[in-house]
Amino acid sequence: MHRIRPAALALFVAAWSLLATAVAQDGGPVPTDPVPTDPVATDPVATDPVPVNPVAIELQVYVVSQVTRDDGTREERFTQATEARPGQVVEYRLVVRNVGDETLPAGIVVVTGPVPEGTQFVAFSATPSDEGLLTEFSADRGTTFYETNVFVGQGEQRRIAEPDTYDAVRWTLLEEFEPAQELTLVYRVTVR
């Protein structure tokens, strides 16, 4: 049994939070987990506060099961996950919220969900692109992302990666993100 440890899950949530990006009022990127490195930022008398990320991400993890109803039809059931066995499908739901007071411009909110070690991405399981959302995939640890035809390798070794080799999913919001607005992004993996 592949156990999803609470501590590892907490680190996974932190990793997702670090991968969400937003813009400060001055137009520069805001760290999601600010760690003051400037002595002025750590001075208790300093008047400039450390910026806070206006994007919050809540990670929800479910094991997906197929059940057969009395009438013979099949449906999916979702159980919050703390562990999963090889062969089980795990669904990650990233609930993204604008917790700030400002509307965030189109294209500035980017959320990346990693495919954990010991799992493989389930093709066609990610929240797809539409007029307000760009969905892209990576198979090189997030170095490059593509909407379709994910390429890996160089020169003559360059090829199109199979979806089960993807190691990250990235979404870019193409519309403004209003204060208190919420968006749920989903993708699935299979435990190896």
For residues 34-55, give the mean pLDDT.
55
Tell me whether residue 87 is in a domain: yes
In a domain, 50, yes or no: no
Predicted TM-score of the model (pTM)? 0.75
Asked if residue 43 is part of any domain, the answer here is: no
Contacts of 34 (CB under 8 A, 6+ apart): 50, 51, 52, 53
The predicted pLDDT at position 91 comes to 97
Q: Is the pLDDT of residue 20 over 50?
A: no
Mean pLDDT computed over 45-59: 78
The answer to whether position 41 is within a domain reads no
Q: What is the DSSP string of 30-84?
A: E-SS----SHHHH-TT--SPPP--SEEEEEEEEEEEEEE-TTS-EEEEEEE-SEE
Range of the domain at 80: 2-31+57-191
Look at residue 42 and tell me whether its pLDDT is greater than 50: no
The CATH number of the domain where 72 resides is what? 2.60.40
The predicted pLDDT at position 43 comes to: 47
181, 175 contact by CB (below 8 A): no
CA gap 12, 184 in Å, rounded? 17
Arithmetic mean of pLDDT, 112-135 = 96
Q: Is 42 a domain residue?
A: no
**pLDDT score recorded for residue 49:** 66
The lowest-confidence range among 31-40, 96-105, 165-174 is 31-40
pLDDT of 46 > 70? The answer is no
117 is a domain residue: yes
Residue 157 resides in a domain: yes
Number of domains the chain contains: 1
The H or E element that residue 191 is part of is: strand 182-191
Q: Between vectors from CA 110 to CA 100 and to CA 103, what angle results, nearest 5°? A: 30
Rounded Cα–Cα distance for residues 192 and 7 (Å): 20
Considering the domain boundaries, does residue 89 fall inside one?
A: yes
Give the pLDDT score at 13: 43
